[in-house]
Structure 1
Amino acid sequence: MAYDTLCRITAELPDGSEGLLDQCEEEAHQLERTLSMFDPESELSRLCRDIRPGEATPVSETLLRFLEQNLEICRLTDGAFDLTVGPLIKLWDFLAEPPQVPTPEQIRETLARVGYQHIHLHPGSSTVSFDIPDVGLDPGAAGKGFALGLTVDRLRRGGVRQAVLDYGGNLFVMGARRGENGALRPWKVAIRDPDDPGTVFGSVELMDTGIATSSWYEHSFQKDGVIYHHLLNPKTGYPIPLTLKSVSIVSSRPVYTDLLSTAFFALGEDRGRELVEQLRRDSGEVIEYVAVRKDGSVGASAGASFVSMK
């Protein structure tokens, strides 16, 4: 258990790799101690609590790299995706019983603490500075994908060539599966139906790639006939208007599956597709998408190998 979810690794381990999975487990717990926004003693929580505006504060290489990857997507989306939505997430508190809609005044006051442009990284000195007080960083849109990337790298260094990793629904497969005749074939991975999460909407084939899905149904509630979901607009403080029901990202870089599924949802299909195409071109990584529109139709990039089951 890490990141408030079950993390599972199934792997073919080479000779002499005893202890490798134990190392992966310890790495997951160490990362949780670094990035958790709910642990007051995590490095991320202490940074947000103790840093003073304009003060350059030393951070670990892990936290600095995590912030760099998040801020890259913040800039490319012009803040439609924003790492600093932590105060808004806590204000809405979708896990409360019962959840409540914040007042306009509460949202207005909280928005004063939101904005990725208030974070400044200084890689040369491994320091971070904020230019306003009480910034709250939310690692939820990228933490599990970032963790998967670290684990995949560790397994590869340990000589593992075939594995399936599942960190709370964020999946990554190393290598291929062996069919009945011994031939290697891609793994087939199901995508949940956003209208009925207990059923399957379609599938994609993966080989040395991963997949993550963002959808409004994960955390939501209804009040006075209005659906409120956890994917918030960092500029308005309210849930993003629903033009999509779910977005699945397939990538050879695990952190992109997590980050881009949220960013694509926030941008909408047209701008989300442009973002995917730009990052695919600039990074050289495999990046594909499957987007379920509000009307139930599907948009998918050519390389996504999506097969509908409806």
Structure 2
Amino acid sequence: MKKRLVAVLLSGLFILSACQSGDGETELAGSAQGTTYHIKLAGDMPAAQRDGLSARIEATFDDIDRKLSNYRDDSEISRFNRLNSSDWVPVSPEIARLVDIAKQVYERSEGCYDLTVKPLFDLWGFSKHESRVPSQEEIDGALAHVGMSRVEVDLAGARIRRLDPAMQIDLSSIAQGYTVGAIADLLDSAGIHDYLVEVGGEMKVKGRKANGQPWRVAIETPNPFTREVERILEMREQQGMAIMTAGTYRNYFEADGQTYSHILNPKTGRPVTHHLASVTVLHDDPTWADAWDTALLCVGEKEAAKIAETERLKVLLIYRDEGKFVQHASQAFISSQEPQP
């Protein structure tokens, strides 16, 4: 169900190490969760402090992977998925919270956001890059074990259960947003309040750059053949803002003249067929933003626009119309980009 990648940094490429950038900012970067991360901090930082912070960041990534990764057999969520049980199962508070948020977005997105779509994702071959068009009989068989409404969560008690023990929960469509938030929280706890955190294209910015200017983020044109800037956002909200973008245009395959997106509708078991190519969500909580961008990408441009207004979400939609890309911004998004007095 995961999308990737679309928000890009205007400052260019980061080097994969910790260093001073030469402009009064400190950069930390590396690899984690099967992707890369880049962190910019306003102000110079002594080497010993940088090294200590880098170690804490790496430890945070490792802790999240041990709990949320569907690609590690020893992770907590993988162990949960192997349990052939419909009983309540104690889980880490992080997992309970992510499932609770996912259920809320599921209910407010016409059931289009669903953490249990893994059997469909596997069936279409997106999990292992072995794409194929399954039969309707195969799709129906997978759909029998898909449905977020059959997952229950006890947030206060930190436990979850599946009414169908064969169901699997895949957190990949929300875990990266949670990760961005966890790293941002770490920086806050370290007394750092002017930063940009990016993990696999997902971001949160807070405060200002070292030169006092707002952080600037470029949204990529949703074209699979080019890397062009579609729109530049100035992040004037200094208390912290996540920028999450989902797209249909990087992960797809073609068969018999038809294009199949990796964004699957959990109600039909098939890839979406609308014209929405990219969704960018601005939100103070990266976890919610990560869930919403996938949900809105699933429902399509018309319903996404309606939901964005109903939920008062800051959303930028980019969709195809007669061979051209068209932008649609929610009222909350427009207000967020207006110059402040």
TM-score (norm 1): 0.88
Q: Which runs of 4+ in 1 moved over 6 A?
A: 13-16
Distance change in 2, residues 1:210/1:124 (3 Å): closer
**Deviation digits for residues 140-172 of structure 1, max 9, x if unmatched?**
211110111111111111100111111000011
3-state SS in 1 of match to 2:33: coil
Aligned to 1:198: 227
Matches for 1:136-147 after TM superposition, within 5 Å: 136-147=168-179
Provide the rounded CA distance (Å) in 2 between the counterparts of 1:6 and 1:97.
20
3-state SS in 2 of match to 1:173: strand
Q: Is the 8 A contact 2:42 2:209 kept in 1?
A: no
Provide the rounded CA distance (Å) in 1 between the counterparts of 2:181 and 2:148.
23
Task: Supply the AA of the counterpart residue of 1:10.
Answer: K
Task: Supply the AA of the counterpart residue of 1:43.
Answer: E
Provide the rounded CA distance (Å) in 1 between the counterparts of 2:41 and 2:292.
26
**Alignment gaps of 5+ in structure 1:** 281-286
Aligned to 1:8: 38
Aligned to 2:213: 185
3-state SS in 2 of match to 1:228: strand
Q: Cα offset for 1:17?
A: 5.4
Q: Is the 8 A contact 1:51 1:129 kept in 2?
A: no
Q: Cα offset for 1:277?
A: 3.7
Distance change in 2, residues 1:22/1:217 (3 Å): same
Provide the rounded CA distance (Å) in 1 between the counterparts of 2:93 and 2:210.
38
Aligned to 1:38: 71
Q: Percent identity?
A: 28
Aligned to 1:231: 263
Provide the rounded CA distance (Å) in 1 between the counterparts of 2:244 and 2:281.
6
3-state SS in 1 of match to 2:308: helix
3-state SS in 1 of match to 2:35: coil
Aligned to 2:253: 221
3-state SS in 2 of match to 1:31: helix
Task: Supply the AA of the counterpart residue of 1:297.
Answer: V
Aligned to 2:208: 176
3-state SS in 2 of match to 1:136: coil
Aligned to 1:293: 319
Alignment of 1:25 with 2:58, yes or no, is yes
Task: Supply the AA of the counterpart residue of 1:75.
Answer: E
Aligned to 1:49: 82
Provide the rounded CA distance (Å) in 2 between the counterparts of 1:300 and 1:290.
4
Provide the rounded CA distance (Å) in 2 between the counterparts of 1:81 and 1:219.
18
Q: Cα offset for 1:278?
A: 4.2
Provide the rounded CA distance (Å) in 2 between the counterparts of 1:266 and 1:129.
25
3-state SS in 1 of match to 2:264: coil
**Alignment gaps of 5+ in structure 2:** 1-30
Q: Is the 8 A contact 2:101 2:288 kept in 1?
A: no
CA RMSD after TM alignment: 2.1
Matches for 1:125-164 after TM superposition, within 5 Å: 125-164=157-196
Aligned to 1:118: 150
Provide the rounded CA distance (Å) in 2 between the counterparts of 1:137 and 1:131.
12
Q: Cα offset for 1:197?
A: 4.0
